[in-house]
Amino acid sequence: MDVIQVIVLAFSALVGFPAFLTALLNLLMFLKVPLNPDGFYFWANVIAFGGVAFAVFTGRTDILSSFDNALVGLAKILVDILVLAGGAAGALFVNYHMHAGLQLRHVRLLR
């Protein structure tokens, strides 16, 4: 098997890396960071592919599984933060608009 095929197989075996990228991009979009998602994914994949190639060339492919597991845990933490922040923001948004609507109706009823 050729070295490029080994690099491609090792890169495609990563599960935590795409999960981490998606969670990070969603968190950055939630925080309104101006970012091009296509460019973000492209350059992150280029950097990760280079890292995997370096690990394959140096013969340290065993580090990829532990790195991938760490990224799975980090992605889970980012998604949990996003769910908590999104739920709180959604609750505040609905609460604010509900109270504004009730105040508007109350003012109309008193006239």
For 24-37, how does the pLDDT look when each residue is reduced to its tens digit (9 = 90+)?
A: 998 888 888 898 99
Give the model's confidence band at 5: pLDDT under 50 very low, under 70 low, under 90 confident, else very high. Answer: confident
Residue 98 lies in a domain: no
Query: Long-range CB contacts (< 8 A, 24+ apart) of 79-87?
Result: 79/23, 79/26, 81/27, 82/23, 82/26, 82/27, 82/30, 85/30, 86/30
pLDDT above 60: residue 17? yes
Residue 25 lies in a domain: yes
Provide the pLDDT for residue 43.
Answer: 95
Average pLDDT along the chain: 83
Q: Does residue 61 form part of some domain? A: yes
Do residues 16 and 69 make contact, with C-beta atoms less than 8 angstroms apart? Answer: yes
Across 67-94, average pLDDT:
83
For residue 52, being part of any structural domain is answered with yes
For the chain, the domain total comes to: 1
Residue 11 lies in a domain: yes
Give the pLDDT band of residue 48 (cuts 50, 70, 90): very high
Does residue 13 fall inside a structural domain? yes
Residue 99 reports pLDDT greater than 90: no
Residue 89: inside a domain, yes or no? no
- Structural domain of residue 49, as residue ranges? 3-81
Residue at 88 is within a domain? no
* Average pLDDT of the segment spanning 80-97: 75
Q: pTM of the predicted model, to two decimals?
A: 0.71
Please check the confidence at residue 85 and state whether its pLDDT lies above 90.
Answer: no
